[in-house]
Chains A and B, each alone.
Chain A
Amino acid sequence: MPTHNDEVILCRCEGITLGQVRAAVQQLQPTSLRELKLVTRLGMGMCQGRVCRPIIQSVGQAMFQDRSETRLAYQIPTRPVSFGDFVKADDDYE
């Protein structure tokens, strides 16, 4: 079903298109989904993958035969947090 073209946006926060991903793969030759993420900022925006993770995982499978759907890490904070709250939580921590 060849219906996606280069202009389709995969990561909405960072505005990364399929064309940019293909170009990065050709020019920089990342060897894993994690490396692709680091060179393109795919999935590294405000949502931290909460919207685009399934899309990015499917790219990883197709481009790197990365069959492990669980490979990409989850990081804290899992939701956007203001610095003020972050510091306060640290103070309150026993």
Chain B
Amino acid sequence: MAVEVAVVGAGPAGLAAAGELGAAGFRVALIDEYPIPGGRLLGQRYHWKNLVWDGKQQAETLVDNVRQWHEVRWLLQRSVYDLERAPSGWALSLNPGDPSVVYAQAVVVATGATEVPIPLVNWTLPGVLAVGAAQVMTAVYGVAPGRRGVVVGANPLSFAIAEELLEAGVKLAGIVMAPGSENVDVVGSLDDQWQRIVGLRGGGAWPLRTLGRYMTHAWVRQFLMSHAPKSGVPIRGVRLRPNVVATAVEGTERVTGIRLARIADHDESIREGWSEPVDFVCVSGGLRPVPDLFRIARVKTAWVPELSGEVPVISPWGETSQTGLFAVGNAIGVESALVAIAQGHLGAHGVTRYLRGQSLDYRLAEPDQHRIQLAREQSPIAFHPKIGQGVEHLRALFLESLGAP
């Protein structure tokens, strides 16, 4: 199959891009490995400014918009597993085949982010799942993951999804902290974990922002967090237990409980341990952009902590270091769905200019960049308190790369 543009990923970013490209009259292949378009929007549902943010409905609106353009071909339930230069632009390998290869003059990669797991003793037992899987079960399929669970790991996603679970009538023993050790340290020390949720907007975490002004001082944060009651502090119905760490999952055939420990104030050593009954455990280590297709295509990437991981160095039009290969959405940094949509529009405009041989001067991207910034400010959820710094860092890397051959 040969098209002008291949869009990989039909989440909010890819759908927004495909809609714009369809409207501009391009022949587009929109590829996603999941049977239903919408990406991670499908599971999102929470209260926001007295309204309900209904991701499923947002996804339907985006999908309907794409469906009106007949030049957009939908290729669902197919994974892109290779991305290579071809004489006409790019060749994408699909599995299952039919077509097994898609040729495109330009590509938009909108493959999103993945969850970071938290290793626990016995975490291979049935009943342990990623917090995002619990979200999909509950909000997309209407299946409760259990009767009473616990979320291990505190981050914006934990709060948003805990709220969704409670609303679905599932009971929670709260959000407890993730363990670490000298050899395995996925989410950092307790204070690293606290810092990440203090001052954040979004999900159920807003009271932390109010307190957050004071909690940016290390000693205030450490004092308040380590002296919280063992049962936790209620944050919009969800109990955050900042000085309780999960040490093991309990059960033989499946999850029957969680082993917890209270941490001493001064040195983060264990003070006491006990068990609580639960029938499911959500591990929640946060989100990371997935760089696999960029690395395969030899795109220049950088590790940017504020954007949650390894991201491609991109121009203000969303073009990577490989001409004709554009990147949008969570694949270039973990942010909310509103930002992903705005990035999808910008990427489509970049591709349009590229295919029409128009200037990709980065100053011309200002209006679109401004819309992304607005979306960022209006988002119901922010995944890192210093997103702006990450975006600036990425822009600096791009400008630096202009100088280098």
Contact = CB atoms under 8 A, between A and B. Distances in A.
A81 B301 CA distance: 26
A4 B119 contact: yes
21 contacts: A3-B247, A7-B121, A8-B119, A8-B120, A8-B121, A9-B124, A51-B117, A54-B288, A55-B186, A58-B184, A61-B185, A62-B184, A69-B310, A76-B82, A77-B93, A78-B82, A81-B81, A89-B93, A89-B97, A94-B101, A94-B103
B252 interface: no
A13 to B, nearest CB: 10
* Residue of A3, A4, A52, A74 with highest tally of chain B CB at under 10 A: A3
Given A4-B180, A70-B303, A94-B101, 16 more contacts: A1-B190, A3-B270, A4-B183, A8-B184, A9-B123, A10-B119, A54-B116, A54-B288, A76-B93, A77-B82, A77-B95, A78-B80, A82-B96, A85-B96, A89-B101, A94-B103
Interface residues of A, number: 41
Interface string A66-94: 00111001101111111001001100111
Nearest to B267: A1
A18 B186 CA distance: 13
A92 B247 CA distance: 51
B341 interface: no
A1 B179 contact: yes
Given A9-B119, A10-B119, A3 B293 contact: no
B220 interface: no
Contacts, number: 126
Interface in A9-40: 9-10, 12, 18, 21-22
Contact of A18 (B95, B99, B183, B245): B183
Contacts of B247: 3
Interface size class of B (residues with CB under 8 A): 35 or more
Contacts of B82: 76-78
Interface of B: 33, 79-82, 86, 91, 93-97, 99-101, 103, 114, 116-117, 119-121, 123-124, 179-186, 189-190, 245, 247, 261, 263, 268-270, 285, 288, 291-293, 295-296, 301, 303, 309-310
Contact of A79 (B79, B99, B103): B79
A82 B270 CA distance: 48
Contacts of A59: 183-184
Contacts of A58: 184-186
Nearest to A21: B183
A22 B303 contact: no
B34 to A, nearest CB: 13
